[in-house]
Amino acid sequence: MASMVNENECGGETQSLEPQGPGRGAARWGPQHAGARELANLYSPGKRCQEWISVILCFSLMAFNLIYLLANFHQGHIWSILLGIVAGILTADFASGFVHWGADTWGSVDLPIFGKAFIRPFREHHIDPTAITRHDFIETNGDNCMLTIVPLANMAYNFLTFSPAEIYHIYPLYCYLYALAIFVTLTNQIHKWSHTYFGLPRWVVFLQDCHIILPRKHHRIHHVSPHETYFCITTGWLNYPLEKLGFWRYLEDLIQGVTGEKPRSDDLKWAQKVK
């Protein structure tokens, strides 16, 4: 095992005990990297508008559904509610890993519409990991808010149209879906906190230290080039078991065998840009 020296988010140097070799141990260049500058400039007014609309709709629906969940609460559901919340958190963590793995590993910024809108932030993040800390609330959370609008809207519609008896029977499922929606919505905010080393509220640091949300030290494992592990970024609870199972590596081998596409080839292309 060879050690690699990187500049961390605090501005100091840290030793990372990761194997080096072809494609490993690359430095993180930050905001002055040519690829990072080009990717940052691709953030468009249209994208900003989509994020604003997504945030407004998401949080409006979340507030509406919370009112109905509280109004229909029954003590007899307490254990199923707790189980649903834990299941929702685990599902959100796996979903964050799957989306993160897919966007990191496959696709290209050059894809029509989807590339610049959704692949671009992942490419920027690997060559400027602290860029996310300079994003405001809308840019940080807009895409995740968009993902939850349809299920939250469906839940709101059902609260308005279902009978009390129907709501009672489906209530534990809705607690699971609501917890899932909350943690999917907050995933990128949690991710942002994992890259923020100054000025975090004490309650956020407490949640990180208790590993209720993604800890900073835990997430640094992913940011060792070539960024091929620890993709789950909501709580990170599933990273270790998925890594021990070789889950992501198996999927990559399967897709490469079928399509011939090499994992993270586009990510490497942006990392190697010099002008």
Domains of the chain: which residue ranges? 32-270
Q: Read off the pLDDT of each residue in 221-230 and give the average, rounded to a whole number.
A: 87
Report how far residue 15's alpha carbon sits from residue 7's, in angstroms, rounded to the nearest whole number.
Answer: 9
Query: For 180-198, what is the mean pLDDT?
Result: 95
Instruction: Report the mean per-residue pLDDT for the chain.
Output: 85
Rounded to the nearest 5 percent, the helix, strand and coil shares of the chain are 65, 5, 30
pLDDT at residue 30, rounded to an integer: 63
Question: In this predicted model, what pLDDT tens digit does every residue of 19-41 receive, in sequence order?
Answer: 333 344 444 466 566 555 656 55
The contacts of residue 235 (CB under 8 Å, 6+ apart) are: 89, 92, 93, 183, 190, 211, 212, 213, 214
Say if residue 37 is exposed, middle or buried (CB neighbours under 10 Å; 0-12, 13-18, 19+).
Answer: middle
According to the model, what pLDDT value does residue 26 have?
Answer: 41
Mean pLDDT of all residues in 227-254: 95
User: Which pLDDT belongs to residue 59?
Assistant: 98
Q: Look up the pTM and report it.
A: 0.81
Of 175 and 124, which is predicted with more confidence? 175
At residue 5, the 3 state secondary structure works out as strand
In terms of Cβ atoms closer than 10 Å to its own Cβ (0-12, 13-18, 19+), residue 92 is: buried
pLDDT tens-digit series, residues 101-159: 998 888 888 788 777 778 888 887 877 888 889 889 999 999 999 999 999 999 999 99
Cβ atoms of 135 and 268 closer than 8 Å: no
- Of 80, 107, 252, 90, nearest to 175 by C-alpha is 80
